[in-house]
Amino acid sequence: MDYSSIVRLIGVGLSLLMLLFSFRSYRRKRLIDDMPTSKAHGVFIGLVEVSGKVECQNPITSYLTESTCVQYSWEISEHWSKTTTETYTDSKGKTRTRTKRESGWKTVASGESMCPFDLRDETGTIQIRPEKAKIEGVRAMDLRCRSSDPLYYGKGPAESIIHSDHLRMFTESIIPLDARVYVIGQSREREDIVAPEIAHDESSPLFLISTREEERISKSYSLNYWLLSLGGLGVSLISFFIASRIGFYRWIPSGVSDYFMPTGIYLGLWLIGWFWTTFNSLKSLRERVRQGFSQLEVQLKRRHDLIPRLSSAVSSLMKHEQSIQTKIAALRSEAAVNAKAAKRLLVLVEDYPELKSSEAVSRLQRELSDTENRLELARAYYNNIATFYNTRLERIPDNVVATLARLKNCELLLQSEGDGDSK
């Protein structure tokens, strides 16, 4: 294999690698853009996105800045430099020596610590377990100092590295209390109580905890996508240009082979990759729409089971009240999934203090009220993600992929007394 072929293979390999990483950034951008933000009280099992303030009853203290936080990572690097002498042979075949100076930074100490924390929004809290998440915290320290500074040995190691310049760099990133964070990851049931939590999951496409806003995160992935895509094209063209200077193709004129052929191949691969990524993202979004509707059905079934139980508890406690018995009979005659029945039953309990004093009735009342709130959140989540999906199907150029894949719009749920009777 001649040198021109080697140069071309290296260039093709690098350009394809850059193209691969560019589509990884594109997939993550689409995932973030297509995911509506859930409320903490309305988080369901599955891939979710939440945003709120950090709370923690047992926070930790960071190593360098000693800040109160829920996660920190730190690193200490030491600068070194040395002068080396090397022997080489010049173009005339004579042996010569030369000196050159080398320098750089070497990590001499580092560490990380984190703890579970709660994320709070206007509806409540949800626990976040940050282990194995990609974390983007706040830069709490970025400092360089000499050995005369107390920090140099106070936080850093007592020994210096070989060829040290006695200059160290201290950096630390933290997630402080009360910071507003954005989280996208897999939700699951907690082991200690009946509640969801967001934690690492091997099947999750992304687990990110960031102090940046969602819009800025999306823009950073978009920038990476375009820089890597264009960079891959540039590497391909440069490698073929260098190869053409070493050895020309014999079967294609050099002017065409240098630029047209690698550009056409690269753009063709890019188009295939874009189509495939867009198609998969739309299919994934459709599955999340279906999952959102299934969560709504779960809450409807839960209410369906709670209404008869609460009606029975009220009836057994108030057998002597003819008026209540009449109301209970009317409620039972209605469809158990009807929102009007649930609301009337809750009002009935509120009107009679002796009913509220019963522990069983109070517990069922709380469960029913919680279910009504979750129904509202589930309906809002479904409508949000269905709107996202419908918008994607109509947006250029996604509509081309949607048409070829025969993807159809999803109907939104209308607010109705019957919950799920209207679409």
pLDDT per residue over 108-150, tens digit each? Answer: 999 999 999 999 999 899 999 999 999 999 999 999 999 999 9
Q: Return the CATH number of 285-405, one of 1.10.10.10, 1.20.1440.20, 3.40.50.40, 3.40.50.1820.
A: 1.20.1440.20
Rounded CA separation 278/23 (Å): 10
Sorted by where each begins, the domain ranges of the chain are: 3-24+223-281, 43-211, 285-405
Cβ–Cβ under 8 Å, residues 130 and 46: no
Q: Residue 167: which H helix or E strand, with range?
A: strand 164-176
Closest CA to 273 of 235, 220, 229: 229
Predicted pLDDT at 392:
86
Predicted pLDDT at 361:
57
Spans in the chain with pLDDT lower than 50: 248-253, 320, 322, 325, 335-337, 357, 416-418, 420-423
Rounded CA separation 103/109 (Å): 19
Residue 305 is encoded by which pair of tokens?
């089971």
Closest CA to 35 of 198, 202, 227, 276: 198
Give the 3-state secondary structure percentages of the chain, helix then strand then coil, rounded to 5.
Answer: 50, 25, 25
User: Tokens 């950073």, residue?
Assistant: 220
Predicted pLDDT at 418:
46
Q: What Rg, from alpha-carbon coordinates, does the chain have?
A: 31
Predicted pLDDT at 125:
94
Rounded CA separation 415/423 (Å): 9
- pLDDT digit string (tens) for 172-203? 999 999 999 999 999 988 888 878 899 999 98
168 bridge partner residues: 78, 145
Predicted pLDDT at 307:
65
